[in-house]
Amino acid sequence: MPLSVVLPAKSESAAIGHTVTAILRFYPQAEVIVVNDGSTDDTVQVATQAGATVISHPYSKGNGAAIKTGARAASGDVIVFMDADGQHDPADIPRLLARLDQGYDMVVGARQKGSQASVGRGVANGFYNRLASYMTGHKVEDLTSGFRVVRADKFREFLYLLPNGFSYPTTSTMAFFRAGYSVAYEPIHAAKRIGKSHIRLLRDGARFLLIIFKIGSLYSPLKLFGPVAVMLVMLGLGWYGYTYTVMNRFTNMSALLLTGGVMVFLMGLISEQITALMYQDKR
C-alpha cells in the first residue's frame, strides 16, 4: 500500500541525511517528508539532497505542529512517524508494518530497557505507561514513543486534538484507544540521538507533568477524578468521626473535605461529558 514517512526536524543536519537515505534503501518508492520546523542549520539542504520532500515552517512551531503538517501533506494510506535525530532505526519499519497488516490501526515502536535517554526520563515514562494502562484497561508499553505506524485516515481524525508541543504521542495513543481503534506495540531499541536534545528539564518539566492530567481527560476523566473524590470524602468522614468522638462536634475541616470530594466528583462528571463530545463522529 502507498507509504509515507514523516520526519519532524529542527536543526538535525547531523542525522537527517543518514536517516532519509536508510529509509529509501528499504522503501525506494516511499514518500519521505521532512518537516523543517524553523531549523537554523543545513537541515533543508541535507534532507533534499538525500531525496526527501521538505516542507518548511517559517518559524519553530513545535514537534506536534510539524507532525500535523506532515500528516496533512502525506499522500500514503499508511504514515510512518519517526524522529529525525537517528534514534529510530528504519530497519524496524517492516516489523511495524507487518503488525499493521494483522488488523491494527496503530503500531507503536516500544522502546526496550536501556533505550531511554536518561534515568529520569525512563522513570517518568514508566509512570506514564502504568497510568495510561490503568485509564484504558489495556497494557500500554510505551506511551511517549515517537516511532509509530498509523492508518492515515484514522490518524487525521484526531489532528485537532494534537498539541503543538512534544506530547503528540500521548494524545494520539489515548485518542485511538478512546475511539475503539486497535493499538499494538512492537519492541524496538532506540539508539542515542545524534546532536543535542531540544528538551530542557526545567522548561519542559511542568509541560510533561500536564501529560498526567491530559491522559485522564483524553480517555475517562472519572477514572482520574473519581479516586480523588472518594479519598476526600473518606478523609472528611474519618475526621468527622474523630472530632465527634473527641469534641462532640462537626468541624469546618470535615465540611471542607466533604464539599471538596463532591466538587471533584462533579468536575469529573462534567469532564466526562465534554470528552464524549470531543470524540463524536463528525462525519
Q: What is the pLDDT of residues 178-187, one digit of tens each?
A: 888 999 999 9
| Max Cα–Cα distance, the chain, nearest Å | 81
- Please, are residues 172 and 106 in contact by the beta-carbon 8 Å criterion? yes
Confidence tier at 135 by pLDDT (50, 70, 90): confident
The reported pLDDT for the residue numbered 87 is 87
Across the chain, what does the average pLDDT equal?
A: 86
DSSP 92: G
Distance in angstroms (rounded) separating the CA atoms of residues 256 and 268: 18
Percentage of the chain lying above the pLDDT 70 cut: 88
191 pLDDT more than 90: no
Q: How many CA atoms lie within 13 A of 19 on its CB side?
A: 30
pLDDT given at position 17? 92
Least confident stretch, 109-118, 123-132, 143-152: 109-118
- Compute CA distances 242 → 238, 249, 253, whole Å: 6, 9, 12
Per DSSP, helices labelled H in the chain are: 13-26, 43-50, 63-73, 93-100, 119-136, 152-156, 168-178, 201-219, 221-247, 252-278
pLDDT of 114 > 80? The answer is: no
Q: Which pLDDT score is estimated for 52?
A: 94
